[in-house]
Amino acid sequence: MTDHYVSFIDDVWAKFPTFAEKELTDITNHNLLWSLEEYQKANYVNFKTGKEELYRLSILMENYAIKHNTPLLATFETEKRYKYVEDRYMEILSKIPKAWIIGNFINPELAPHPPQTAEVVSCDGTNISPMWIVAARSEKGPFGLVAEDLGDKDYRGFFTSNTNIMQAVIDDINEQLKIKIEL
C-alpha cells in the first residue's frame, strides 16, 4: 500500500510535481474559461476559488455525463453537501450508465440510496473526505475537477483532461477505499 500525504491533492501533485508548480488561473474570469470544452482544451488548470465556480464546473461535468451517456464519479465532503444536490443527482443517476458517489457518510443509513447502477461509498477517515471531485470519461479517457476544501469556503485544486493525472486520482481513490472505479 502507498503512503499517503495528509492532503489528497498533495498525493497527486507528488506524482506530477511540474503540475503543482503551474501558476493559478482565475476561473472566475469567464473570458478565460467558460465552456467545458475550453477547460478540456486547456488540458490542466490550477486554481484557488470559492464554491460558486466549483458548482458551475460540476454542473458542466454532470451535463456532459448525461449528454454523452458516460459514467460519473462524484465526491462530497459531507452528508449535508450531498443532501443539497440529492434530488438533482437522483435524476442524473437515472440517465447515465454508472456512477460512484463517494462521501463522508458517517452514518450508513444517511447515505443516499440511488439506483442499482450507482455505488455509494463512505470515505470517512481518509484524505478523500475534504475533496470535491467530479469526473467523467471522454473519448480520450477520464477528465475532471479535483478540489480540496481549505475551509472558509475556499478551495484549491485543478481541472484536467490529462488522462494520466485523472487515472492517478482514480487509482488513489480505488486503493484507499478498496473499490474499482472504471471511468
Question: How many Å apart are CA 174 and CA 142, to the nearest integer?
Answer: 14
Please give the pLDDT value at position 109: 58
Stretch 26-42: mean pLDDT, rounded?
88
**If you average pLDDT over every residue of the chain, what do you get?**
89
pLDDT exceeds cutoff 70 at 84: yes
Cα Rg of the chain (Å, integer): 15
What share of residues in the chain are helix, strand, coil (percent, to 5)?
Answer: 40, 25, 35
Taking only the tens place, the pLDDT of each residue in 85-94 is 888 888 999 9
pLDDT digits (tens, 9 = 90+) for 113-160: 677 888 888 898 899 999 999 999 999 999 999 999 999 889 999 999
CB contact at 8 A, 145 and 57: yes
What pLDDT score was predicted for residue 5? 54
Beta strands at 131-138 and 72-76: parallel, antiparallel or unpaired:
antiparallel
Q: Is the pTM of this model over 0.85?
A: yes
Stretch 164-169: mean pLDDT: 97
Q: What is the mean pLDDT of residues 97-110?
A: 80
State yes or no: pLDDT of 80 exceeds 80.
no
pLDDT score recorded for residue 2: 54
CATH topology of domain 39-177: Endonuclease; Chain A (3.30.870)
